[in-house]
Amino acid sequence: MIDVRKLRMLADLQRLGTIAAVADEMHLTAPGVSMQLAAFERELGVTLTRRAGRRLALTAAGALLAAHGHDILDRLSLAELELDALRAGTVGRYSVTAFPSAARTFVADAFQRILFDNDSGLELTLSTLEPENALAALANGAVDLAAIHSYSNVARDVPNGIVANTIGSEPVWLALRSDDRISAGGAPERLADFSDRPWIIPTPGVTCHTMVERACGLAGFRPRVVAETMDFSVQVALVAAGVGVALVPALTVDTVPDGVELVRLTDPIERKLLLAVREPGLGDPGIRNLLDIIAATATARLSNLRVSR
C-alpha cells in the first residue's frame, strides 16, 4: 500500500523544487522530509530521487509516481470538499413525492430555490401522489420524502418507522356563488344551511372525499352529490357555473372566478401539512436540509394565502 503522505511529499518536491520548500509547506524540518523520502524509496524498492548539484531531482520513476500523486491528491481534495458538502446537506440525490396542490405550490417553490442556489448540489426528482400512496412509497423506499396532509376531522395514520412533522395548516373554505350567500355581512356560514344544495366533491377513496362526507355528516346531512373530481380548480369552475357548492382547501385555489366566494365556516375545518421521512433519513444531512427548505417555502406560501370572506 502506497503511503499517501509520503506520496504527497514526492509530488510537492516535483512542484516546489526543493526539500526546504516541501518542509515549509508541510510544517516539517528539511531532514525530516529527506528521511521520509528515503524511507519511501525503501518501501517501494525503487529509486525516486537523485542529486543534481545541490538540489534533489526526481528520477524517471519518481516523476512518474509524482504525476500519479498529483492526480490522487486532487481527487482526495475533491473528496474532502464533497464530504464537507455532504455533511452540510448541500449535495445528494433525493426523490420527493407530494399531493398535487403541495407539488405546484410550496414544493415547486422549494425546487426553484434549490435550482437557483449556486451553493446547492442537491439533485431532486418529483412525483405526485395522494397521502395514502405517498406513505406506501416512502415505506417501501421508492421515495425519500413525502409531503402529505391530514384534516382536522380525519386523522392520519402514519406507519411505524416513518416520522411526519407538521409544517403548517390551511383553512378549508366553502366555495359558493355570491348570490348563494346566507349569512349577512361576510359572516361565516353554517354548513347545515347548505344541506339542500347540490354538492361537488372529491372522488371516493381519498382523504379529501372523507373530509367532505364527515363535515356534512357532523352538520346533520348527507350531501346530494352531482359531480366528483379531484381537481379543485374544476370544482371551483363548476361552482361558478351554478352546478353546486364545494369544500376546498386554500392551497388548491389559484384564482377565484367572478361571482364565486370562498367563505369561512362557523365550525372551521383545517388541512394540516406534513413532511414525512423514514426514521433513518433524519440522520441524513441532505434530507434535513431539504426538510428545512420545504418547510420554509410552505411557511411563505401559507402567509400569503388568499384572505377568506
Helix axes 4-16, 60-88, angle to 10 degrees: 110
Phi, psi of 207 (to 5 degrees): -60, -35
Q: What amino acid is encoded at 28 in this protein?
A: L
Q: What amino acid is encoded at 26 in this protein?
A: M
CATH, range 4-88? 1.10.10.10
Distance CA 203, CA 163 (A): 28
For the segment 15-58, what is each residue's pLDDT rounded down to a tens digit? 877 888 877 888 888 788 778 888 888 888 888 778 877 777 78
Q: Characterise 299 by phi-psi region: left (phi > 0), alpha (psi -120 to 50), beta (else).
A: alpha
Q: Is the pTM of this model over 0.75?
A: no
Q: Is the pLDDT at 6 greater than 90, yes or no?
A: no
**Domain ranges for the chain:** 4-88, 90-309
CATH, range 90-309? 3.40.190.290
| Gyration radius of the chain's alpha carbons | 32
Instruction: Please check whether residue 132 is in contact with residue 230, taking contact to mean a CB–CB distance below 8 angstroms.
Output: no
Of 184 and 245, the one with more pLDDT: 245
- Which is nearest to 86 in space by CA: 283, 291, 304, 297? 283
Of 113 and 7, the one with more pLDDT: 113
Give the end-to-end CA distance of the chain in Å, rounded to a whole number: 74
Assigned C-alpha cell, 99? 399531493
Give me the chain's average pLDDT, please.
Answer: 87
> Which range has the worst mean pLDDT, 72-81, 173-182, 206-215, 294-303?
72-81
For the segment 257-290, what is each residue's pLDDT rounded down to a tens digit? 999 999 999 999 999 999 999 998 888 888 888 9
Tell me, what's the pLDDT at 308?
47
